[in-house]
Amino acid sequence: MTRPGTAQAGFTLLEILVALVVLGFLLLGLAEGVRFGLRAWDSEAKLVDRRADLDGAERLLREIVAQADPGEPNEPPTFHGQPRRLEFQTRLPVKAPSLPTREAEVGLGVDAAHRLVLRWVAHPHAERLTKPAKPEESVLLEGLDRIEFKYLRWPDQGGGWVDSWDLPSVPALVRMTLVFPPDDRRHWPAIEAAPMRSRNQQ
């Protein structure tokens, strides 16, 4: 029997309810923190993947432009540049299974599905005496609005950047700008590459 004037040990119902409410808020905050962390991690992983794709595309673009065929003294190069498309002869980084050599005529541009596409076919001088193969293609990047090309003229051609190229030589420099849709957070600086392949390397 409890003596008069002494307090009972334990918690009242109100105190237990308050404790449960506080615990609920703590668990809710913890769950939201975990969810936010997972979303941030997933977003960061996607960003890293996209950056890796961009980095790989840049390396390939630089290499194929650097390996553009400069032509021969009596045979101008195959190099036709437009503001949003580029076609030229080059040496691919690796030999495609369908090609007898790495020498190929390639085309670069963004298709209707907003993909940066590299199309290639064996250079006519390098083809076997068989039926010409159909052009093949590789998707370098997805989700592009467009690619913009600019071409630097040599000093004896007047110098300066132009939007198209159809002169009997390769340009001194090619600038490639990847343009993403307005709602895409990706951004990449303009890519500049110089056709460095000399005639004695052919």
Which of the four pLDDT bands, split at 50, 70 and 90, describes residue 174? very high
Would you say 124 and 142 are in contact if contact means Cβ atoms under 8 Å apart?
A: no
Q: Which range (79-88, 110-119, 161-170, 181-190) has the least confidence?
A: 181-190
189, two tokens = 């600086």
For the chain, the distance separating the N- and C-terminal CA atoms, rounded to the nearest angstrom, is 107
Residue 32's φ and ψ, nearest 5 degrees, are -65, -40
Would you say 114 and 144 are in contact if contact means Cβ atoms under 8 Å apart?
A: yes
Q: Cα(132)–Cα(123) distance, rounded to whole angstroms?
A: 10
Residue 175 in this model has a pLDDT that exceeds 70: yes
Q: Which range (25-34, 44-53, 102-111, 137-146) has the least confidence?
A: 44-53
According to the model, what pLDDT value does residue 201 have?
43
Residue 133's φ and ψ, nearest 5 degrees, are -75, 155
Residue 87 in this model has a pLDDT that exceeds 70: yes
Beta pairing partners, 110: 116
Instruction: Tell whether pTM > 0.85.
Output: no
According to the model, what pLDDT value does residue 23 have?
82
According to the model, what pLDDT value does residue 161 have?
97
Residue 176 or residue 137, greater confidence: 176
According to the model, what pLDDT value does residue 118 have?
93
According to the model, what pLDDT value does residue 96 have?
55
Average pLDDT, the chain: 80
Q: Which helix (H) or strand (E) element contains residue 140?
A: strand 136-142
Residue 111's φ and ψ, nearest 5 degrees, are -85, -175
118, two tokens = 């590299």
According to the model, what pLDDT value does residue 38 have?
59
